[in-house]
């Protein structure tokens, strides 16, 4: 879902 | 992780290493915008604050440490060690005109208002425009050393590959992060005319010079 960004991307 | 994001991270790493080597080997930071490097150090510092309390993977942590260490090492080389070669006359972009809008925008459009999330959003917006002082400096001097143009190409290619990564993830994981995608597209567009000049000139063995 869009509501959170992906912390594992640098 | 997917091949596009891995290639993007490698391009990013190559760009940072190429810049460090250029300054270290030539013992000069002529043509390099210290202001852009300040902004990049700020981008990594605000984005990787979670380095110390969120473990994602060894790769993730190692890359964050490398990006942080190399960006501050670059600042040290520019503003301390090879300060005499810093071309401050041409590095005149007013970075407060980038910082203030990014702060305001990250308060207006963000996924949520936790401190880490706000810092992450700020770093995404700032990264999109962090190269402007460098591109501005190149436009003022009208040229760039070939090694500097390779640095810029790798740096531009990194975020372009991240866009491909986001398209891939949209279709395979139905994952999309609007903030990162929009900022990443703007960031890549800023390199557009540079990419054109790089491909039509540098790859043909000519010097990187802007049309007079």
Nearest to A8 among B12, B57, B180 (CB): B57
| DSSP element (H, E) containing B120 | helix B115-129
> pLDDT digits over B135-170, tens only?
999 999 999 999 999 999 999 999 999 999 999 999
| CB-based contact B161:B7 (threshold 8 Å) | yes
Question: In DSSP terms, which residues pair with B143 in a beta bridge?
Answer: B209
CB contact under 8 A, B67 and A4: no
Give the pLDDT of residue A2.
Answer: 44
| CB-based contact B77:B29 (threshold 8 Å) | yes
> pLDDT digits over B11-46, tens only?
999 999 999 999 999 999 999 999 999 999 999 999
Give the pLDDT of residue B206.
Answer: 92
Q: Is B173 helix (H, G, I), strand (E, B) or coil?
A: helix
- A3, A4, A5: which to substitute to probe chain B, counting the most B Cβ within 10 Å? A5
CB contact under 8 A, A8 and B12: no
Q: How many CB atoms lie within 10 A of CB B55?
A: 10
pLDDT band at A7 (very low <50, low <70, confident <90, very high): confident
Q: What is the ipTM of this complex?
A: 0.81
Chain A residues within 8 A of B112 when measuring between CB atoms: 3-4
CA of A8 vs chain B CAs: smallest distance (Å): 6
CB contact under 8 A, A10 and B12: yes
> pLDDT digits over B108-122, tens only?
999 999 999 999 999
pLDDT of residue A1 exceeding 60, the answer is no
> pLDDT digits over B75-94, tens only?
999 999 999 999 999 999 99
């Amino acid at each position: 879902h869009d509501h959170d960004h992906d912390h594992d991307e640098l | 992780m997917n091949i596009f994001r891995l290639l993007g991270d490698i391009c990013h790493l190559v760009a940072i290493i190429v810049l460090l080597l250029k300054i270290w080997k030539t013992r000069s930071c002529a043509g390099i915008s210290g202001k852009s490097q300040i902004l990049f150090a700020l981008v990594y510092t605000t984005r990787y604050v979670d380095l110390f309390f969120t473990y994602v993977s060894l790769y993730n942590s190692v890359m964050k440490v490398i990006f942080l260490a190399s960006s501050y090492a670059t600042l040290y080389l520019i503003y301390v060690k090879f300060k005499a070669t810093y071309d401050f006359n041409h590095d005149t972009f007013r970075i407060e005109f980038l910082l203030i809008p990014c702060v305001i925008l990250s308060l207006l459009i963000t996924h949520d208002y936790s401190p880490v999330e706000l810092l992450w959003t700020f770093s995404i917006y700032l990264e999109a425009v962090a190269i402007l002082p460098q591109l501005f400096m190149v436009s003022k001097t009208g040229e760039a050393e070939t090694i500097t143009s390779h640095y810029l190409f790798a740096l531009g290619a990194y975020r372009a590959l991240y866009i491909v990564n986001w398209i891939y993830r949209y279709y395979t994981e139905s994952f999309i992060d609007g903030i990162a995608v929009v900022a990443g597209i703007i960031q890549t567009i800023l390199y557009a005319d540079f990419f054109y000049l790089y491909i039509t000139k540098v790859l043909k063995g000519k010097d990187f010079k802007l049309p007079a």
